[in-house]
Structure 1
Amino acid sequence: MTTISEIRETMPDRMTSGMQAPPRSSARRSLLRHMAALALGAVSSPSFAQHGDLGLVTPPVRLDDTWLVDQTGKKRLLSDLLHQRVTAVQTVYTGCGTICPLQGALFNAVQERIPQIRARRPVQLLSVGIDPLSDSPSALRAWLARFQAGSAWNAATPALADVDRMRVALSGSNAPLGDIADHSTQVYCFDANAMLRWRSADLPRVEDICDVLGALART
Structure 2
Amino acid sequence: MAALALGAASPLSFAQHGGLGLVTPPVRLDDAWLVDQTGRKRQLNDLLQRRITALQTVYTGCGTVCPLQGALFNAVQQRIAGMRAGRPVQLLSVGIDPLSDSPSALRAWLARFEAGPAWNAATPSLEDVDRMRLALSGSKAPLGDLADHSTQVYCFDANAMLRWRSADLPRVNDICDVLGALART
TM-score > 0.5 by shorter chain: yes
Question: What is the one-letter code of the residue matched to 1:194?
Answer: A
Conserved? CA contact 2:14–2:21, under 8 Å: no
How far the C-alpha of 1:37 sits from its partner, in A, is 1.5
How far the C-alpha of 1:43 sits from its partner, in A, is 4.6
| Structure 1 segment 187-206 matched on structure 2, within 5 A | 187-206=153-172
How far the C-alpha of 1:70 sits from its partner, in A, is 0.1
What are structure 2's unaligned runs of at least 5 residues?
Answer: none
Residue equivalent to 1:98: 64
Residue 129 of structure 2 is aligned to residue 163 of structure 1: yes
Conserved? CA contact 2:50–2:158, under 8 Å: yes
Query: Per chain length, whose mean CA-contact separation is higher, i.e. which structure has more relative contact order (CA < 8 Å, sep 6+)?
Result: 2
Out of 80, 91, 99, the residue aligned to residue 46 of structure 2 is 80
Question: What is the one-letter code of the residue matched to 2:109?
Answer: W
TM-score, scaled to structure 1: 0.82
Distance in 2 between the 1:56 and 1:113 partners?
Answer: 22
Distance in 2 between the 1:97 and 1:42 partners?
Answer: 25
Conserved? CA contact 1:52–1:173, under 8 Å: no
Residue 139 of structure 2 is aligned to residue 173 of structure 1: yes
Residue 126 of structure 2 is aligned to residue 141 of structure 1: no
Distance in 2 between the 1:194 and 1:41 partners?
Answer: 27
TM-score, scaled to structure 2: 0.97
Question: What is the one-letter code of the residue matched to 1:203?
Answer: L
- Alignment RMSD, CA only? 1.3
More strand by share: 2
Distance in 1 between the 2:15 and 2:44 partners?
Answer: 28
The DSSP-based 3-state class of the residue aligned with 2:87 is: coil
Greater mean alpha carbon deviation, residues 114-123 or residues 77-86 = 114-123
Question: What is the one-letter code of the residue matched to 2:46?
Answer: D
| Structure 1 segment 1-219 matched on structure 2, within 5 A | 30-38=1-9, 40-43=11-14, 53-219=19-185
What are structure 1's unaligned runs of at least 5 residues?
Answer: 1-29, 46-50
Distance in 1 between the 2:37 and 2:102 partners?
Answer: 8
How far the C-alpha of 1:40 sits from its partner, in A, is 2.5
Conserved? CA contact 1:39–1:56, under 8 Å: no
How far the C-alpha of 1:44 sits from its partner, in A, is 6.1
- Cα deviations by residue, 1:18-38 (Å, 9 ceiling, x for unpaired): xxxxxxxxxxxx011111122
Between structure 1 and structure 2, the one with the greater Rg is 1
Distance in 2 between the 1:115 and 1:217 partners?
Answer: 13
Distance in 2 between the 1:114 and 1:214 partners?
Answer: 8
The DSSP-based 3-state class of the residue aligned with 1:94 is: coil
> Across the two proteins, how many residue pairs are aligned to each other?
185
Distance in 1 between the 2:67 and 2:181 partners?
Answer: 27
Q: Which runs of 4+ in 1 moved over 2 A?
A: 39-45
